[in-house]
């Protein structure tokens, strides 16, 4: 203690020596008439020195505090509010009386059937209640984007719950009934669309829980390769390949989520994973690869069968399968079909020729960019980067133009110009000067782009960049349908909450494609993808002769681009004999016959057809079809094919009470109503400004700063008086 | 009078004071803007009612007035805007994208400006939503706190309801937390509909409705 204080004394003395000159100068300036104050040596006036010391120290501390305060203030003024990171937990979460977390053995089996651009994924997971009491659990599974669970089977001990697609209203009534008859305590809550969640009740001690769910996932296609990602890790935000092992968690407190658990807490030896993929290839493949797992690949009747090599695989990382088609020098077309007894469901695949086999066509590219107020900040930065990248891709024979719009619209040139250096520089300057302000009046800008003077023999491609905050989608889509003529529309949506539906539809009607850029870092990747796509239109104006009355989707057949196969789904009254595809290849008419595949397709073909039909029906609502008629028709198909739509839900009701009456359980028998993932969903927005906190902070710092200013004048009076 | 001293002793606190003032103005501007904007929007709403569907509150605005939300028992009358963006939320409550045209409407607002009143809503309170085409009474049925990390909003065209969403807890000084307070109101049965509306759009809640919210 004494040692410490002596050190402090020394430090103070040092500080005093250091500041002595400064203090003297201050004192001297203030009281030039009292030189004796400065003449006194510190040693001879210990009491005075102490006082001075403490005062100087106070002063320095205040200076430091205010400097820190200043830094904080500047940061505060500069920064906007940032949202906290989002976390979620996947697996089975027990909610019992005991508060401790318990781990159980877990087996996961995954069966995948890939048809066209869709995969039917079936996940079976086995858990066990290792606790000593009856429990309720929440089961969560991460879903790939856009997927929704439409089939389900839950086995708890010897009970079986099966999922059933029902009309939403009916499901709701049934749920209410079950509830009022005292069978349930569950809440119907909305859930995130990227996860499946269901509650399991009455899980006895030692019970085995077998959860089996099935969903349709879409296949990604980029840079000449298909890929399917199945999230497997039960960790918050499964990231590519690198994951902590957090297989399973039991939380004791009902309603508490507990995503942060250290991996070491669980025995992980028992977590086995098996994956079987049935890849129904309708064309030759050049490669099949699994990104993070070792796999066995066997040719089969349908195509390929892929399974995991290591029987000891754990569920600790994403399963990603990628395969690349092999394109020939000429377009190719295959046909597979499935007979359900009443109808034939057919899938027609069109494979374009190799990009090298097509002579490139020059184009006219019109860039349309949204500069409305909502684009302010990163959105506009992304859009600018995307446009500039687009300009770099133009070839010497291409022509181009630029249009920007907000409340008004402005075009750079009256008529599109060749992509010469001078023009490109001018365009870059134009892009640099764009600023976000005003409303979003899309129609006039699109009109301008679609009605530019025609360039002889050049295909016009409109690249439309916006954050998509529109209110009059219907009018815009109609306008595009009417005015686009031979042009093609490519939509690029920017930012976090674009109106994806509108952008996708606009591109569909415009026979182009939709690209979404979520972050600035994605611009390069996505725009390059878009460009390599639109540079090589292989076959335009496609048409198909099924040889009979066929109901096929999509109704508007897009162009066929190099490196990108195309699928059409049809329902036919009888087995197809001769299906002819026609179109325009390199400026002249082209025609070929489809080759039927020997192996018949699976019932997934029917599902895929039904899904495309429902989508077309839903779209027709935008173009004025009576909503009630649409609802009826969609409902019919959804119930027939067992599909989730906005009018149907998946329902599971547990019918067998299992709990012995003597044992107490906090939760009752729970039927769960599972909300459809196909409804329109939205995240929550940040709904607090924090202005009060900011106000308080400002007031506080103002107070301190004022105190400092006053203090700077005031501190000397005691010092000088003591000196005197 | 000139104050003596090292220049830092004056410069640092003065700069701090300057930034404090700047911050203060910036902070206080938020609630002031929220009030002012509603007033400007009111005019564009009248134009909207007059038949101009694209009337904007101010020429460079990227939003439109779409409905009036009133809670007579709390003396609340606010104009709901289109476009669920942070920028629009500063001016008033907004419809979550996709919901203004469906029967299932979700409106979000800042908990420390427009939607401050949600804290005081109770089950049974009446809410009136007036759009260009209709005016309808809703009754508050559910009040719940949800975690936005685990839930998202589902707009269900099969349901007729109004949900009001704001951040939670109400008194938290920190913005940007994961919790949201959701007030769900279902249509009021026709026989309970208030008959007359006073000119200011503010009403007394009719008799039969009682608050059912415990602990308040």
Q: Which residue of A has its CA nearest to B111?
A: A688
Res A447: pLDDT: 92
Q: In percent, how much of chain B has pLDDT > 90?
A: 3
Alpha-carbon Rg for chain B, nearest whole angstrom, is: 21
Is the Cβ–Cβ distance between A209 and A203 less than 8 Å?
Answer: yes
Q: What structural domains and CATH numbers belong to chain A?
A: 2-80+694-723 (no CATH), 91-326+649-674 (2.60.40), 332-356+542-617 (no CATH), 361-535 (3.40.50.410)
Res A377: pLDDT: 77
Q: Who has greater pLDDT, B194 or A37?
A: B194
Of the candidates A86, A128, A118, A46, which has an alpha carbon nearest to the alpha carbon of residue A610?
A118
Alpha-carbon Rg for chain A, nearest whole angstrom, is: 34
On chain A, the residues whose CB falls within 8 A of the CB of B154 are 190-191, 675, 679-681
Partner residue facing A257 (CB), from B62, B83, B147 = B147
Q: Which of residues 78-137 of B touch A (CB under 8 A)?
A: 82-87, 89-90, 96-100, 102, 106, 108-113, 115
On chain B, the residues whose CB falls within 8 A of the CB of A690 are 112, 173-176
- Mean pLDDT split into 10-residue runs, chain A, 724 residues: 49 54 48 43 48 61 72 56 36 50 61 88 83 72 76 81 79 62 35 64 77 86 81 43 29 27 38 85 85 88 87 75 87 88 90 81 90 82 88 89 91 91 93 87 90 85 84 82 89 74 85 83 83 80 89 89 86 89 86 81 87 87 81 91 82 57 36 34 69 83 81 48 34
Name residues whose C-beta falls within 8 Å of residue A393's C-beta, 6 or more positions apart in sequence.
A531, A535
Structure tokens at B151: 């839930």
Terminal Cα distance for chain B, rounded: 58
On chain B, the residues whose CB falls within 8 A of the CB of A684 are 108, 148, 152-153, 165, 180
Count other Cβ atoms within 10 Å, centred on residue A204. Answer: 20
Res A426: pLDDT: 94
Q: Looking up tokens 């390599």, which residue turns up?
A: A532
Q: Count Cα atoms within 13 angstroms, Cβ side, for A509.
A: 22
Q: Who has greater pLDDT, A111 or B178?
A: A111
Partner residue facing A76 (CB), from B23, B115, B180 = B23
Name residues whose C-beta falls within 8 Å of residue A384's C-beta, 6 or more positions apart in sequence.
A431, A432, A434
B93-144 confidence digits (pLDDT tens):
988 766 666 677 889 898 888 898 998 988 888 999 988 777 888 988 888 8
Count other Cβ atoms within 10 Å, centred on residue A32. Answer: 8
As a whole number of angstroms, the distance between CA A148 and CA A150 comes to: 6
Res A94: pLDDT: 61
Residue A425 CB burial class (10 angstroms; 0-12, 13-18, ≥19): exposed
Partner residue facing A682 (CB), from B85, B113, B155 = B155
Of the candidates A200, A186, A188, A192, which has an alpha carbon nearest to the alpha carbon of residue A92?
A200
Per the rule left: phi > 0, alpha: psi between -120 and 50, beta: everything else, A255 is left
* A93, A144, A251, A636 from A90: Cα distances, Å: 8, 13, 12, 34
Terminal Cα distance for chain A, rounded: 34
Length of chain B: 216
The average confidence (pLDDT) of chain B is 76
Q: Characterize the bridge pairing of strands A537-545 and A164-167.
A: unpaired
Backbone angles phi, psi at A611, to 5 degrees: -65, -40
On chain A, the residues whose CB falls within 8 A of the CB of B58 are none
* The dihedral formed by the CA atoms of A618, A620, A625 and A631, expressed in degrees to the nearest 10: -20
The kind and range of the H/E element at B143 are: strand B135-147
ipTM of the complex: 0.72
Is the Cβ–Cβ distance between B101 and B95 less than 8 Å?
Answer: no
- Which segment of A202-216, A275-289, B41-55, B59-73 scores lowest on mean pLDDT? B41-55
Structure tokens at B166: 């704001």
On chain A, the residues whose CB falls within 8 A of the CB of B148 are 86, 683-684
Res B176: pLDDT: 75
Q: Does B16 touch chain A (CB under 8 A)?
A: yes
Res A670: pLDDT: 29
- Which segment of A33-42, A681-690, B150-159, B199-208 scores lowest on mean pLDDT? B199-208
Q: Who has greater pLDDT, B9 or A578?
A: A578
Is A169 within 8 Å of B158 when comparing Cβ atoms?
Answer: yes
Angle at B189 between CA B183 and CA B190, to 5 degrees: 135
Partner residue facing B175 (CB), from A76, A193, A686 = A686
Q: Who has greater pLDDT, B54 or A424?
A: A424
Q: In percent, how much of chain B has pLDDT > 70?
A: 76
On chain A, the residues whose CB falls within 8 A of the CB of B149 are 86-88, 257
Q: What structural domains and CATH numbers belong to chain B?
A: 29-192 (2.40.260.10)
Q: Which residue of B has its CA nearest to A375?
A: B62
Q: What is the pTM of this model?
A: 0.60
Structure tokens at A167: 């009309």
Residue A602 C-alpha, separation from nearest chain B C-alpha, in angstroms: 32
Q: Characterize the bridge pairing of strands A399-405 and A363-370.
A: parallel
């Amino acid at each position: 203690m004494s040692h410490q204080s002596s050190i402090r004394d020394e430090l103070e003395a040092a500080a005093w020596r250091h500041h002595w000159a400064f203090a003297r100068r201050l004192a001297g300036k203030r009281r030039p008439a009292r030189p004796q104050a400065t003449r006194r040596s510190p040693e001879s006036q210990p009491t005075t020195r102490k006082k001075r010391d403490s005062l100087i120290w106070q002063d320095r501390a205040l200076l430091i505090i205010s400097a820190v305060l200043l830094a904080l203030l500047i940061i505060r003024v500069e920064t906007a509010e940032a949202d906290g990171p989002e976390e979620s937990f996947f697996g089975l979460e027990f909610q019992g009386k005991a508060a401790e977390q318990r781990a159980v053995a877990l087996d996961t089996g995954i069966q995948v059937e890939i048809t066209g651009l869709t995969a039917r994924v079936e996940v079976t997971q086995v858990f066990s209640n290792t606790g000593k009491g009856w429990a309720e659990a929440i089961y969560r599974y991460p879903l790939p984007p856009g997927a929704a669970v439409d089939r389900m089977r839950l086995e708890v001990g010897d009970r079986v719950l099966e999922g059933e697609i029902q009309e939403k209203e009916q499901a709701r009534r049934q749920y209410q009934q079950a509830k009022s008859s005292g069978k349930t305590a569950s809440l119907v809550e909305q859930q995130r669309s990227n996860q499946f969640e269901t509650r399991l009740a009455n899980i006895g001690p030692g019970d085995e829980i077998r959860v089996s769910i099935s969903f349709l996932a879409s296949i990604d296609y980029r840079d000449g390769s298909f890929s399917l990602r199945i999230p497997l890790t039960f960790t918050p935000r499964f990231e590519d390949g690198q994951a902590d092992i957090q297989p399973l968690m039991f939380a004791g407190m009902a309603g508490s989520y507990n995503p942060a658990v250290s991996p070491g807490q669980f025995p992980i030896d028992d977590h086995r994973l098996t994956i079987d993929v049935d890849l129904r290839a309708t064309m030759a493949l050049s490669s099949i690869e699994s990104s993070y797992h070792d796999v066995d690949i066997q040719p089969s009747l349908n195509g390929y069968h892929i399974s995991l090599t290591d029987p000891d695989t754990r569920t600790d990382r994403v399963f990603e399968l990628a395969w690349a088609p092999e394109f020939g020098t000429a377009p190719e077309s295959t046909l597979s079909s499935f007979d359900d007894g009443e109808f034939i469901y057919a899938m027609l695949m069109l494979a374009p020729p190799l990009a090298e086999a097509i002579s490139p066509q020059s184009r006219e590219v019109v860039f349309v960019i949204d500069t409305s107020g909502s684009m302010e900040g990163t959105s506009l930065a992304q859009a600018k980067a995307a446009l500039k990248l687009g300009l770099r891709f133009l070839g010497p024979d291409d022509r181009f133009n630029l249009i920007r719009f907000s409340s008004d619209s402005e075009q750079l040139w009256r008529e599109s110009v060749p992509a010469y250096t001078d023009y490109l520089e001018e365009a870059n300057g134009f892009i640099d000067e764009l600023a976000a302000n005003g409303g979003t009046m899309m129609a006039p800008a699109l009109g301008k782009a679609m009605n530019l003077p025609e360039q002889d023999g050049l295909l016009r491609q409109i690249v439309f960049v916006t954050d998509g905050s529109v209110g009059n989608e219907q009018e815009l889509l109609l306008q595009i349908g009417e005015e686009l003529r031979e042009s093609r529309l490519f939509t690029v949506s920017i930012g976090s909450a674009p109106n994806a539906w509108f952008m996708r539809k606009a591109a569909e009607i415009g026979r182009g494609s939709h690209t979404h850029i979520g972050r600035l870092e994605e611009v390069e990747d996505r725009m390059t993808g878009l460009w390599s796509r639109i540079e090589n239109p292989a076959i335009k104006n496609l048409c198909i002769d099924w040889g009979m009355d066929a109901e096929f989707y999509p109704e508007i057949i897009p162009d066929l681009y190099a490196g990108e196969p195309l699928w059409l789904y049809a329902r036919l009254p009888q087995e197809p004999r001769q299906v002819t595809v026609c179109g325009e290849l390199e400026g002249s008419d082209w025609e070929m016959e489809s080759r039927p595949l020997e192996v018949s397709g699976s019932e997934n073909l029917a599902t895929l057809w039904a899904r495309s039909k429902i989508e077309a029906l839903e779209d027709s609502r935008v173009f004025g079809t009576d909503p009630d008629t649409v609802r009826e028709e969609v409902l019919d198909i959804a119930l027939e094919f067992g599909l989730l739509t906005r009018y149907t839900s998946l329902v599971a009701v547990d019918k067998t009470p299992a709990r012995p009456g003597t044992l107490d359980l906090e939760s009752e028998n729970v039927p769960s109503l599972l909300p459809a993932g196909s409804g329109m969903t939205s995240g929550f927005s940040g709904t607090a400004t924090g202005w009060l906190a900011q106000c308080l902070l400002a007031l506080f710092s103002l107070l301190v700063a004022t105190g400092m200013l006053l203090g700077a004048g005031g501190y000397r009076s005691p010092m000088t008086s003591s000196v005197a | 009078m000139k104050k003596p001293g090292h220049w830092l002793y004056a410069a640092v606190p003065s700069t701090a004071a300057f930034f404090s003032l700047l911050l203060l103005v910036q902070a206080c501007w938020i609630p002031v803007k929220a009030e002012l904007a509603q007033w400007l929007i009111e005019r564009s709403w009248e134009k909207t009612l007059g038949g101009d569907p694209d009337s904007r509150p101010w020429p460079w605005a990227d939003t439109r007035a779409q409905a009036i939300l009133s809670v007579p028992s709390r003396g609340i009358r606010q104009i709901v805007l289109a476009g669920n963006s942070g920028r629009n939320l500063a001016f008033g409550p907004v419809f979550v994208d996709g919901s203004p045209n469906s029967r299932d409407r979700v409106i979000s607002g800042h908990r420390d400006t427009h939607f401050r009143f949600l804290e005081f809503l109770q089950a049974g309170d009446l809410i009136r939503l007036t759009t260009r085409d209709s005016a309808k009474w809703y009754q508050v049925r559910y009040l719940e706190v949800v975690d936005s990390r685990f839930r998202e909003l589902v707009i269900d065209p099969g349901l007729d309801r109004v949900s009001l969403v704001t951040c939670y807890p109400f008194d938290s000084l920190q913005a940007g937390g994961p919790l949201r307070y959701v007030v769900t109101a279902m249509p009021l049965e026709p026989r309970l509909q208030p008959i007359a509306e006073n000119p200011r759009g503010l009403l007394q809640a009719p008799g039969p409705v009682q608050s059912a919210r415990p602990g308040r």
